[in-house]
Homo-oligomer: A and B are copies of this chain.
Amino acid sequence: MKFDPRHLEMLAAIVEAGGLTEGAAMLGKSQPSVSRSIAFLERRIGQRLFEPKRRPLRPTEIGLLLAQEGKRILEAGRAASALADGVARGVAGAVRVAGTPIFMDGVISGVIADFQGRHPNVRIDQSYAYAEEAMEKIAQDLLDLAILPLRPGTLSDEFAFCQILPGRNVIACRTDHPLAGRATLKSTDVVRYPWIAPPANSPLFHDLRAFLDRIDQREMKIGFTGGSLTAVLNVLSGSDSLTVLPFSVVFMLQRRNRIAALPVEIGDPNRHLGILTRRSAKPPMTARRFTEFTMSRFKEIEREIAAAGA
Contacts and interface: CB of A to CB of B under 8 A. Distances in A.
B69 A8 contact: no
Interface stretch (A14-22, A71-79, A271-279): A71-79
Contact of A5 (B6, B66, B88, B141): B6
Contact of A2 (B52, B62, B73, B77): B77
A1 B70 contact: no
A47 B284 contact: yes
A69 B61 contact: no
A3 B93 contact: no
Contact of A76 (B1, B69, B83): B69
A93 B66 CA distance: 11
A39 interface: no
Contacts of A61: 93-94
The interface size bin for chain A is: 35 or more
Given A52-B141, A62-B93, A284-B47, A5 B77 contact: yes
A72 B75 CA distance: 9
Contacts of A5: 5-6, 9, 73, 76-77
A66 B92 CA distance: 12
Contacts of A84: 1, 3, 45, 47, 62, 66
A216 interface: no
Contacts of A69: 76-77, 79-80, 83
A309 to B, nearest CB: 41
A264 interface: no
Interface string A13-51: 000000000000000100000000000000001110000
A81 interface: yes
A77 B47 contact: no
A85 interface: yes
Contacts of A1: 81, 84-85, 88
B46 A66 contact: no
Contacts of A132: none
Contacts of A47: 84, 87-88, 284
Nearest to A84: B1
Nearest to A44: B84
Give the one of A47, A80, A85 with max B CB within 10 A.
A80
A231 interface: no
A65 interface: yes
17 contacts: A1-B88, A2-B81, A5-B6, A5-B76, A8-B76, A8-B77, A47-B87, A47-B284, A61-B93, A62-B83, A66-B84, A69-B79, A69-B80, A69-B83, A70-B80, A73-B73, A76-B76
